[in-house]
Amino acid sequence: MLNKVLIVGQGLAGSAIARYLQQNGIGVHIVASPEKASASRIAAGVWNPVVVKRFVPAWYASEALTVSRDFYAQEEDRLGKRFFHTHPLHKLLSNEAEIEQMRQQWDKRHLGEFCDADLVTELPAGVHDFPSALRIRESGYLDVPLYLDSLAENWEKEGVLSKAEFDYDQLKQVDGKWTYRQDHFDKVIFCEGIGALANPFLSDMPLVKMKGEILRVKLPALKSDITLNKSIFILPQANAEFKVGATYNRDAADTLPTEEGKAELIEKLSEIVDTEGLELVDHSAGYRPAVKDRRPLVGEVPNYRGLYVLNGLGSRGVMLAPLMAQWLGEHLLNGKTLPEEVLLRRFLK
């Protein structure tokens, strides 16, 4: 019988599985570092069910969208905050060849579930001369810091969140259960993002540190209240500001913002919109936990009975976290089989 679970990490993944378990009457305790800038907190929070480069639905897009909408709506009602926003995204189309590519995928990939059939031909002032745009109506953004901070505040009041570095030496298995600092748990779930690379229980974790940089800028010439996408996203914010991102760098040695990253984003931005009068407001960077086959890592850790992982959500963490938490929760509570494509053992030789 499952009574209490220890969760390590309070990003999108850790928060989602903690709430799923609580909703089903399972006690949880969460340990999360107060110092580390997680990928979840750095992320712009854009959610979009379409892989815009190829005009195909993302992995489990329909199911993930349904589950995530319900999940965040419930959390908004419970916490009395609004952090999940539906906000159309316009994928800018450069030429007839790209338009034809999209049309070829339309019926085959059922894009009508997420996108409008009629292309947008009137674009906002300040956008360069693109022939049209594909309107992805089922998209938006999550105010990730507000969401995570609201949860943390609530959990601290309940006494189930410890803001501290996790001490792996204190995690011991005794009589089939796990103990951590004198507390006993039936299961442990690691939701650490790239922090998993320093976890001695996850020495073979097939994660890749993918650094991403994001700018927050003022663009006086751009009059847009929709998200634009063309190699980067341009997400409207309050006070006539925009979030612009993101870069992808596998070889970065740290999470410090760089001049190279800033220059790359501004150059791409200038190819999309009028950047006259651009003012840099903020520049942030972080590591995304990516996996070689671009599938999450969900399930029991090989050779460690009772230890589980929920990680590798990549750039679609906002949409995927609630669905992956549901899968893992149903597995823990009801023994439901997890899909082979998310299990860690797929990488074992």
Write out pLDDT tens, residues 252-305: 888 899 999 999 999 999 999 999 999 999 999 988 888 989 999 999 999 999
Residue pair 151/79 in contact (Cβ under 8 Å)? The answer is yes
SS (H, E, C) the chain: CCCEEEEECCCHHHHHHHHHHHHCCCEEEEEECCCCCCHHHHCCCEECCEECCCCEECCCHHHHHHHHHHHHHHHHHHHCCCCEEECCEEEEECCHHHHHHHHHHHCCCCHHHCECCCCECCCCECECCCCEEEEECCCEEECHHHHHHHHHHHHHHHCCEEECCCCHHHEEEECCEEEECCEEECEEEECCHHHHHHCHHHCCCCEEEEEEEEEEEECCCCECCCEEECCCEEEECCCCEEEEECCCECCCCCCCCCHHHHHHHHHHHHCCECCCCCEEEEEEEEEEEEECCCCCEEEECCCCCCEEEEECCHHHHHHHHHHHHHHHHHHHHHCCCCCHHHCHHHHCC
Q: Which residues pair with 50 in a beta bridge?
A: 57
- CA-nearest of 280, 284, 270 to 222 is 270
What's the pLDDT band for 126 if we cut at 50, 70, 90?
Answer: very high
Task: Classify residue 208 as exposed, middle or buried by CB count within 10 Å of its CB (0-12, 13-18, 19+).
Answer: middle
Find the mean pLDDT for residues 110-132.
Answer: 96
Q: What is the reported pLDDT for 43?
A: 79
Residue pair 46/136 in contact (Cβ under 8 Å)? The answer is no
Q: Name all domains of the chain by residue range, CATH numbers in brackets.
A: 4-47+144-204+293-347 (3.50.50.60), 70-141+208-291 (3.30.9.10)
Q: What is the reported pLDDT for 4?
A: 97
Amino acid, res. 137: R
Q: What is the reported pLDDT for 73?
A: 98
What's the pLDDT band for 38 if we cut at 50, 70, 90?
Answer: low
Q: What is the pLDDT of residues 62-109, one digit of tens each?
A: 999 999 999 999 999 999 999 999 999 999 999 999 999 999 999 889
349 has a pLDDT exceeding 60: no
Q: What are the phi and psi torsion angles at 97 (to 5°)?
A: -65, -40
Q: What is the pLDDT of residues 172-216, one digit of tens each?
A: 999 889 999 999 999 999 999 999 999 999 988 889 888 999 999
Q: What is the reported pLDDT for 42?
A: 76
What's the pLDDT band for 222 if we cut at 50, 70, 90?
Answer: very high
Mean pLDDT score of the chain: 94
Q: How many other CB atoms sit within 10 Å of the CB of residue 95? A: 11
Q: What is the reported pLDDT for 176?
A: 87
Amino acid, res. 143: D
Distance of CA 234 to the CA centre of its chain: 17
Residue pair 104/94 in contact (Cβ under 8 Å)? The answer is no
